Structure 1
Amino acid sequence: MTIATAKLSDPAVRTFVAAINAGDRDAFLAVLTPDATMSDDGSDRDLRDWIDKEIFTVRGRIDVQTESDGGHALIANFTNETWGEMRTAWRFTIDGGKISRFDTGQA
């Protein structure tokens, strides 16, 4: 069962998911701190290169299945035109209402 984006607990995470699903790169970047970092499957990646390759040029979509840790940890089905659908885990570090780091990988 999918959790509606509007029902996600943390406002920054809610904006992050909504921006991905709307294909809105500007809104996505606006919810991140200027020095935000990320990892994929345990390896740090260049955030801007990764989001373009994995999300915004390949119609990425995130359908949240569960949330925990006050909305800072998600299990979701992530879909894009490169990899199809996969079950993923997302963990967020929030700083001043913005995301300073996110870690994702297969769940």
Structure 2
Amino acid sequence: MLAGYDVPRGTMLLVNVWAMHRDPSIWEDPEIFKPERFENGKETQKVLSFGIGRRACPGAGLSHRLVSLALGSLIQCFEWERIGEECVDNIEAPMMRPATPLVAMCKARPIVHETLNAFV
């Protein structure tokens, strides 16, 4: 059941994102380019950040892979400790940023020095 309709199993559902992003009942002046409407966390729940279909961001796949590689490298190459004894706050602010910035101390692992010395 979707929006009152009985959708049979196996049905391919196509969503008209173009119409959603230009709906005047949701957006003020939907046809006008106004990036300031997203400042200060406003209007963040109404968009698909990378788009969809043939107008989708061509770098979306690359960005997902690079974030994974960068995070993996940071975890592999450094020892991390939090500053202070308080627990890390996982509450998110708009646009998936942490509400409270994470403050941490890092120290390079011995393998980093060995790897960098191999290139010298």
Whether the TM-score (by the shorter chain) exceeds 0.5 is no
Scaled to the shorter chain, the TM-score interval is under 0.3
More strand by share: 1
Higher Rg: 2
Structure 2 length-normalised TM: 0.22
Structure 1 length-normalised TM: 0.24
